[in-house]
A = this chain, B = another copy of it.
Amino acid sequence: MPQYKAPLRDMRFQLNEVFDYAGHYASLSNGGDATPDMVDAILEGCATFCEEVLAPLYATGDSEGCSITDGVVTTPKGYKEAYKEYVAGGWQGLSHPQEYGGQGLPMSLNLLKSEMMGTANWPFTMYPGLSLGCMNTVFQFGNTEQKNLYMPPLVSGEWTGTMCLTEPQCGTDLAQIRTKAEPQPDGTYKLYGTKIYISSGEHDLADNIIHIVLARLPDAPKGTRGISLFIVPKFMVNADRSLGERNSVKAGALEHKMGIRASATCVMNFDGATGFMISEKNKGLEAMFTFMNTARIGTALQGVAHAELSYQGAVPYAKDRRSMRALTGKKDADHPNDALIWHADVRRMLLTQRAVAEGGRAMIYHAAKLADHMVAGVAEGNKAKYDDYDDRLGFYTPILKGFLTELGLECANLGMQVFGGHGYVKDYGMEQIARDARISTLYEGTTGIQALDLLGRKVLLQSRGKVVFGFTSEMIDQAKPHLLDGGPIGTMARTAFKRAIQWKVLTLRLMLRANKDRDVVSAACYDFLMYSGYVMMSHFWLKQALVAHKALASGKGSESKEFYAAKVQTAEFYFERLLPRADGHKKSMLSPTSAIMQMDNEHFSFN
């Protein structure tokens, strides 16, 4: 059973040495309180909470799952107490405005918290996690009354929130939403309809649940321009925030899922439920998508979380379990066989997990700085700043979400693979990680949707390639001074340099092709996404390796020396063993679309 230990050594390396978060926070209008001491205290405190409270509930929550009786959902044993402790610790409001009781810290600190919590226990973390979207929406689009009414208990965590988008007939294609909102004489609305796959739609952790619901007014235009957004509380809220009568929104059922079984995924029935419009009439979808980037980066975290947890489970097993002799001869001479970790193929699996966990962490920590600026823009009432950083973030989002969750799933499967047959049975805890990881490429936009967003929207439509060219310039700038270096640094810098140029050229080629053949975008987008992910990760591995190499050269303390050396070694592994996969994606995305498009729909099966 993996024993979660917060990877503070690596987190600090990246925060302090690679990404200079101290400098970053000092530059933020809301970063003043995030002093190095404060950040350290948060990391330590959160680590303890995750290791001692959340991690022990990970396996038990899975085997117990949630249950529902007459619309009342019961979460697994221990969840209530853990959530209480979470609220008492003030963890929910870390990055939310002080005027509503939060700590007003930069949102990247919330991401660090989510990373640790999610790695220790992803399904638990979804309960407070879903509140974020709700809070962001209320804060950004609610009127003063709505903000005053709902924000404080959401920020404290006494209440939680949901996002109610999906309906049986549509997930991605929200234009097809049918839930109705009928205006009432008092200015409220009555909502009718069914929403499915609503995470934390109903549970027993909080006193109230605030649903953010997409629905249509009776006279609404068809499609996406006829969707409005509503606040629908589980219990009506009086002006003094005391709870009134039960609203007619009920959980009709729980979904039986492959994994994240401790997270209550609900069918929610709105049967004349009272709702309050938020944002403008028919502009609900825009509002809903406002914080899409941060929500998707929150899901990208899942890739890192499961790679990390599965790695933490696999390493001790590989050191402990013995099988056969290593091919180069006896390693553990006092035993008849060698520990798994001596076998190169096992090391390949472990290093893949590590390279993904640490490389993905770097990608997210970089993006989180942009998100901090974006959120600061909101707080400063600086729309232009918000838009600028939202755009910049928009390039990273689909890559992080699509690529890191695909790799997280692979790494969770590799963790099982290290365990051999033991990986497949529940007792060892490795298969749960793979089942939990499996959702990450599906929700918050499937990998295909991320890929389409990246290539179709962000790269071709919105920027004519500029987002890629901007990033590849950064890659070139980083690599250039080291092209003539000896040793692994020089090798990696030259490779990154070449990949940057290759990525740029590829983007140009796809642009030209897409002008002539619109199928290119959908046919190539998955391979483009994965290619982009591998090349982007190489940039962040080189970045880490450069810092570690420099630290080694400057002769830091001996424990750190080992850490830095292992960092460079993991970077080498990434460049030598994982980055080459980009070649297959490159060739595949450039192949003619006919190979995908020519088959007649009716010829997919013959009996």
Contacts and interface: CB of A to CB of B under 8 A. Distances in A.
B336 A175 contact: yes
Given A257-B426, A420-B442, A576-B591, A597 B347 contact: yes
A322 B421 CA distance: 40
Contacts of A463: none
Number of copies of chain A assembled together = 2
Contacts of A341: 601, 604
B448 A600 contact: no
A323 B173 contact: yes
A171 to B, nearest CB: 5
Nearest to A425: B255
Contact of A344 (B342, B348, B593): B593
Interface stretch (A213-221, A230-238, A276-284, A432-440): A432-440
A602 to B, nearest CB: 8
Interface string A577-590: 11011111111100
A251 B342 CA distance: 35
A172 B322 CA distance: 10
Interface of A: 5, 7-10, 166, 170-173, 175-176, 197, 222-223, 255-259, 265, 312, 315, 318-319, 322-324, 326-329, 336-337, 339, 341-351, 354, 409, 413, 416-417, 420-421, 423-427, 431, 434-435, 438-439, 441-443, 446-448, 451-452, 456, 518-519, 521-523, 525-526, 559, 562-563, 565-566, 569-570, 572-573, 575-578, 580-588, 591-607
A595 B607 contact: no
Contacts of A347: 596-597, 599
A256 B425 contact: yes
A522 B442 CA distance: 34
Nearest to A570: B599
A323 B442 contact: no
Contacts of A584: 580-584
A171 B315 contact: no
B327 A519 contact: yes
Given A348-B596, A563-B606, A576-B591, 20 more contacts: A8-B607, A10-B606, A172-B323, A197-B421, A223-B336, A256-B427, A341-B601, A344-B519, A345-B525, A346-B448, A347-B599, A416-B438, A421-B442, A566-B599, A566-B606, A577-B596, A578-B588, A580-B591, A581-B581, A581-B588
A562 B606 contact: yes
